[in-house]
Amino acid sequence: MLIYFLNSILFVLGLYCLIAKKHLVKKIIGMVIMEYAINLFIILLGYKDNGIPPILLPEMNRASFLQHSVDPLPQALVLTSIVIGLSTLALMVAISLRLYEKYKTFDMSEIRRLRG
Amino acid sequence: MQGMTFIVKTATRLLVGIIFLFGVYITFYGHLTPGGGFAGGIILACGFILLTLAFGKDMALGKLSDFWASLLDNVGALAFWSIAFFGYTAGYFFMNFIEKSQPFGLMSSGTILFSNIAIGVKVFASIFAVFLALTIFGRFVSGLVNAEDEE
Amino acid sequence: MLFLFYSLLVFCIIGSIIAIEARNILASVISTGVVGMGLSIMFLFLGAPDIAIVQVVVEIIVLIILIRSTVSIDNTAITGHRDTFAILSSLIFFGLFLVFGFMAFRGLPPFGEPLMTISSQYLQNSVNDTGASNVIMGILLDYRAYDTLGEATVIFTAILGSFVVLRIRGKKKKEEADKVRVGIPISKELEASKKPEEVVG
């Protein structure tokens, strides 16, 4: 219960950085921290006490494998999510580099004032 | 972009083959040990990025130019789609239609091996092409990046 | 074990506070790299070695891309007036979010006892149906392969979008049509050696 609360504090920190800072790269960093918090939350939902990873090895007993392994379904979803986060980061950095070329600054309030 | 010092070049020459082999191993045995197509593809891309940073862009572009990276990306995506459509020959969309042998072998899981290879090639080409577009073909004038602006 | 999770999460929170409030952008980028590595250790202790491998290598690529966008640019610190309205409203919203989140987390099953209604079916039948010993790969590429197809499409589209944003325009002549080249821009030496082909534009 407390661990979900700490995780939501990490999410809230990322969201604060996205909204309240003016530097474009800091906004991107806020978005990256939000992604970390969400992926961690999904994996925390599937943890089993004293659990083993869901990979079957040749010398393992089937019954103990079924009883002890952690939930494999959230891990499959998070694997997808991490790689999608990487490609959207590439797109965000490309757009911010083009904005820097055109307006010669990274400050968001300056860009909003100049506007073309 | 020129390369780095002699120490970095020697270390890279020793390490790059091992990194490629590790990436290919993680891709191929993705159905038996942790890893899979995504992790293996990104490890391969890291190996190529190390080669680019240590030896300069001319040698790395000689090994895999931007045209071929873009082409490999499309080939990987089309291969994944075609594996999905071949499932129609045996039943429904995306069916695992190859015969499965005993567990814990290389060919024991049907189309999962080929899907891993297709995804590994696709992710490798994508990440390397993004690195090329962002860092090597820079657009604005600075001390570290070539000035390629034509306007 | 629970103490280890708490200490790693507190480490991640302190690292992200440093990443948010640092003045130098390079320090912020390095701090978010440290947060990612701490997260990868936490994934390893949560029974997910697959995710730990992917998180480490993705973190390295994130660091490379972010450092590229900050290291060659002169003005890195922004000084000026703070946006008071945004800070105040965000703080009020986050207080409300934490209070309601605290009430909502009581509805979840307790930490360490997941429900696993369909995952038990996957764990039992995975080796016989799909033949893969790695249950996660069996889920991603056989039971739920449609999601992987969607993900491949999203990655393809995002990277294609970043190429289009970063392209180079050809020189405009007054009497000719607009020769716009799409794709990864190539350098001047390579361009002088081969003829530019006219793409649909």
The residues that bridge with C134 in the sheet, in sequence order, are: A55
Token readout for C91 is 């703080």
Q: Are C178 and C172 in contact (CB under 8 A)?
A: yes
First-residue to last-residue Cα distance in chain C: 59
Question: CA A25, CA A89: separation in Å to the nearest integer?
Answer: 11
List subunits contacting chain C, requiring 3 or more Cβ pairs under 8 Å: A, B
Mean pLDDT, range C34-47, rounded to an integer:
94
Show me where the domains of chain A are located.
2-114
Question: From residue C176, how far is each of A17, C169, C179 by CA, in Å?
Answer: 48, 14, 8
Is residue C60 over pLDDT 90?
yes
Sign of the CA dihedral running C99, C104, C106, C110: negative
The pLDDT, as a whole number, for residue C63 is 94
Chain C residues with CB under 8 Å of A61 CB are none
Q: How many contacts, defined by CB atoms under 8 Å, are there between B and C?
A: 151
Among C71, C156, C170, the residue with its CB nearest the CB of B77 is C156
CATH number of A2-114: 1.10.287.3510
Using CA atoms, how far apart are residues B119 and B38, in angstroms rounded to an integer?
A: 7
Tell if the CB–CB gap between C50 and A8 is shorter than 8 Å: no
Measure CA of the first residue to CA of the last residue in chain A; give whole Å. 49
CA-derived radius of gyration, chain B: 19
ipTM of the complex model: 0.91
Report domain extents, chain B: 6-136
A31 shares contact with chain C (CB less than 8 Å): no
pLDDT of residue C76: 54
Q: How far is C133 from chain A (nearest CA, A)?
A: 5
CA B62 to CA B57: how far, in whole Å? 8
User: Taking a C-beta distance cutoff of 8 angstroms, is the pair A34, A18 a contact?
Assistant: yes
Chain C residues closer than 8 Å to A45 by CB: 108, 114
pLDDT number for residue C102 = 87
In the prediction, which pLDDT does C185 show?
53
Q: What is the pLDDT of residue A61?
A: 81
Tell me, what's the pLDDT at C42? 94
Task: Mention every residue, 6+ apart, whose C-beta is less than 8 A from residue B66.
Answer: B129, B132, B133, B137, C183, C184, C186
**Residue-level pLDDT at B150:** 36
Indicate whether C200 pLDDT > 70: no
Check B148 against C71: CB less than 8 A apart: no
Taking residue A1's Cβ as centre, other Cβ atoms within 10 Å add up to 10
Give chains near A: 3+ CB pairs under 8 A: B, C
Q: What is the mean pLDDT of chain C?
A: 82
First to last CA, chain B: 22
Supply the pLDDT for residue A40. Answer: 95
Q: What is the pLDDT along chain B (151 residues), one digit of tens a residue?
A: 677 889 999 999 999 999 999 999 999 998 888 999 999 999 999 999 998 888 887 887 788 877 888 889 999 999 998 888 887 666 666 666 666 666 677 777 778 888 899 999 999 999 999 888 888 765 543 333 344 443 3
Tokens of A31: 């978005």
Residue of C nearest to B40 (CA): C54
Q: List the 44-83 stretch of A: residues with Cβ below 8 A of C.
A: 44-49, 51-57, 65-66, 69-73, 75-76, 78-80, 82-83
Reduced to 3 states (helix: H, G, I; strand: E, B; else coil), residue A35 is helix
Task: Give, for C125, the enclosing helix (H) or strand (E).
Answer: helix C119-129
Q: Retrieve residue B104's tokens.
A: 């814990």
Quote the pLDDT of residue C152.
92
